[in-house]
Copies of this chain bind each other. A is one copy, B any other.
Amino acid sequence: MRLYIGLVHYPVYNKNRETIASAITNFDLHDLSRLSRTYGAKRLFIITPLKSQHTLAERISTHWTSGYGASYNVHRKEALEIVSVVETLEEAIDSVVEAEKERPLLISTDASKQDDRTIDYLHAREILDSERTVFLIFGTAWGLHEDVLMMSDFILDPVEGRTDYNHLSVRTAAGIILDRLAGRYK
């Protein structure tokens, strides 16, 4: 499986559908890196153009990968080692191309069902199983900007539970999505 994960902090929407750069959330970094490691993703890109946010993400990461935290909790070290903080989605994609020698298929996620270029879990899973390189993109705040959806090859069906309430955190949604795409259980 050649799976890469991206967590986009810009461009995303705020509550009023204005384009913003969201702040990095400490819990996102820990939860998503542990998730990515558990399901065998090759790299987790944290995408934000804000310099101050790079400093923050690197401070968290360094604490757990080479600071006091590395000996205190080796599992966090192992997880955070697969994180790369980059300025743009394009930079993340370039990095995947360099590693895999092919352009990854871009699959974006959204909490709403789209009209165009949708893909369901069964088909996305088949693509992953075929060893095609896949870049799975998650948005923060109120979701990925339409520019990101427009440049994607596919937009994954939203996670729906058993009710019409559908407001999962990106941490929870990412867990469910990775399990649907790569999980194995009885």
Please give the residue numbers on chain A whose beta carbons come within 8 Å of chain B beta carbons, in ascending order: 1, 15, 27, 30-31, 34-35, 37-40, 73, 75, 78-79, 120-122, 157, 159-163, 165-169, 171-176, 178-180, 182-186
In the complex, A169→B169 CA distance in Å? 13
Cross-chain contact A179 with B176 (CB below 8 angstroms)? yes
Given known contacts A37-B163, A38-B161, A169-B171, what 10 new A-B pairs fall within 8 Å (CB)? A15-B73, A34-B168, A34-B172, A35-B161, A38-B166, A38-B167, A40-B162, A120-B185, A176-B176, A180-B183
In the complex, A122→B75 CA distance in Å? 29
| Copies of this chain present | 2
Cross-chain contact A165 with B37 (CB below 8 angstroms)? yes
For residue A1, which residues in chain B have a CB less than 8 angstroms away from its CB?
162
Cross-chain contact B34 with A162 (CB below 8 angstroms)? no
CB < 8 Å neighbour of A162 from B171, B174, B184: B184
